[in-house]
Amino acid sequence: MPTFAIRLARITGRLLLALAAVATLVVVFLAALVLTDGAGSGLAAWLTALGIGSVAALWRGRRRTRAARLAPFLPVVVAAALTASVCVPTAPTARRYPPALPFVATQHWSLATGSRVAVYHYPPANTGTRHPVPFVYINGGPVRGISVQDHRFLRLLARQGYDVYAYEQAGGGRSDLLPMDQYTISRSVRDLAAFVDRLDKGKVDILGFSSGGVVLTRALADPRVAARLHRAIIADPGPMDGPTARIAGHKGRPSARDLAPSMTGPRSTHVPRYAVGFGLMRLGLLTPDTGLIGQAEGDNAFTAADLGSDTASAYCARDAHRIPTEDTAQNFSFSAAASLRVQQTIKDSPSLAPQLRRSKTPAMLMIAECSSQVRQWATAVLADDPAIQRTQYMPGVGHHMWNGLDDNNARAAAVITAFLQDKPASLPNYPTRDGIPAFLRDHK
C-alpha cells in the first residue's frame, strides 16, 4: 500500500509539473502575442513559444536516456496544439457583406472623403403632409450596420411624410472598409458633411443615436459642418470628447443587464482565436489593427450573441424577459476593432466645449429613463450647447428608445416630429440646463 501511494504521488507530481509546463508555455505565447501585436496571424508568437519550449525540453532531457529525453517534449506538443488554434482562421478572411434587405434598396455612394457608404432611402408617404427638409439618420455602433429594428422606425417616419435617408458609416454594414488607421471620430464627422453634400438637397434635419449622437454633437461644434444642418436631434449620446469620456458618473434607472436570458446563437468568442483576439483588444493589449485578426475576418466572425449583455443593457429592467430581436443574423454586422479605434480617438480628443458653445443650430436632446449611458455624457452636451431648445426625458424606455415594444416607437416619433415641426413638446422640457445639478443629484 505505501508503495502504491508513493507511485500515485509521483505520477500526480509529474502530471502537475506537465500541466504547469503547458500553462507556462501558453502564458509565454500570450505574452509574445502582445509583444508582436499578433504578427503573422499569431505565427510569430507561436514560433517563439515553441522555440522556448523546445530549448527548455532539450535542457531538461540532456542527462536522460535516449527514450526518456522525449518526455519533456510532451507538454511542448500539447501547448503547441492548444495555441495553434489561435493562429488558424475559421471565418473567411475576405469581407462578406450582408445580403440585400427585402424591403429597401441598398445604394452605394462614393463620398468626397474617399469613403464608400451604403445608403437607404425611404421616400415620404403619398398621403398626408410631406415635409420639405430631408431627414438623415446616423446609427450607433460606432461601426455597425443599421438594425432591422431601426429600419422599421425609419419607415414609420417616412409614413408620416418625411423624406428619410440613412447611411451606414464607413466599415459598418454594407459600407466599404477603410484602412484601420482611418477610423477616427473626425473622419466620421467629415463623412457626414460629405454625405449631405452628396445628397445635394440643401440643409437636412438629422437624428444621431448613441455614438451617432457623438458624431452629430461634434458636427454641431464645427461651423463648416453645422452650416449644412437645419435641425439636430441628439439621442442618448456617448461621450463627446476625452474629458467627458473620463467622467465616472452614474447611469439611468436599472437596465435589463444581467437580468435578461442569455442571448442564443453562435458566438465567435467560443472559438479560441476570436476569444483571445477580441479579449486582448478589449483590454487594450492588442491594437485594433493587430496582425492576429484582419479587419474583414473579424467583421465576418463577430455575431449578435457576442454582444452578450450589451444588448440587454439597452432595455429597462422591467422588459428583461421580453427583449425583442433587434436584427436578423443575415443583416447583423459589427466591427469590434474599428469601433474600438473610433472610441479611442474620442478618448484622446481635447475638450469640445469651447467650440460647442458657439453652436447656433436648433437642437433637441433625448435621454432614456433606463439608459445604460453615463448621465454626464448627455448633460455635458446640454450644458455646453446653447442651441439646445428642449430636452425630452423618455419614460419607460432604455437606451434603444424605439424598440418595437408597446407604443415606444410611436412615442419616440411623436417627440421627434414635434421638434422638427416646431410644435409644443408632448413631454416636459426636462432636465433644463439650470436643472442639471438637481437631475444628477436625484439619480434620474
For cell 503547441, the residue is: 80
- Please say whether the dihedral angle defined by the alpha carbons of residues 323, 328, 331 and 334, taken in this order, is positive or negative: positive
- Over range 77-86, report the average pLDDT: 92
DSSP E strand stretches across 314-442? 363-370, 388-398
Confidence of residue 393 (pLDDT cuts 50, 70, 90): very high
Quote the pLDDT of residue 29.
94
Quote the pLDDT of residue 4.
63
HSE at residue 189, side-chain half, CA atoms within 13 A, is 20
**In the chain, domain spans:** 2-87, 107-441
Greater confidence, 262 or 369?
369
- Over range 73-97, report the average pLDDT: 92
Confidence of residue 265 (pLDDT cuts 50, 70, 90): confident
Q: Return mean pLDDT, the chain.
A: 93
Quote the pLDDT of residue 101.
96
The number of residues in the chain equals 444
| Confidence check: pLDDT of 235 > 60 | yes
As a whole number of angstroms, the distance between CA 133 and CA 22 comes to: 64
Greater confidence, 409 or 307?
409
- Over range 69-86, report the average pLDDT: 85
- Over range 140-168, report the average pLDDT: 97
Classify domain 107-441 at the CATH topology level: Rossmann fold (3.40.50)
- Over range 30-49, report the average pLDDT: 95
Angle at 133 between CA 127 and CA 138, to 5 degrees: 105
Quote the pLDDT of residue 68.
60
| Confidence check: pLDDT of 264 > 90 | no
Question: How many other C-beta atoms are found inside a 10 Å radius of the C-beta of residue 386?
Answer: 14
| Confidence check: pLDDT of 234 > 60 | yes
The answer to whether the beta carbons of residues 380 and 387 sit under 8 Å apart is no
Identity of residue 408: N
Quote the pLDDT of residue 12.
66
Quote the pLDDT of residue 383.
97
DSSP 258-311: TTSPPPPS--GGGSHHHHHHHHHHHTTSS-TT-SSS-HHHHHHH--GGGGTHHH
Q: What are phi and psi of 377, to 5 degrees?
A: -65, -40
For cell 449644412, the residue is: 228
In this prediction the pTM is: 0.92
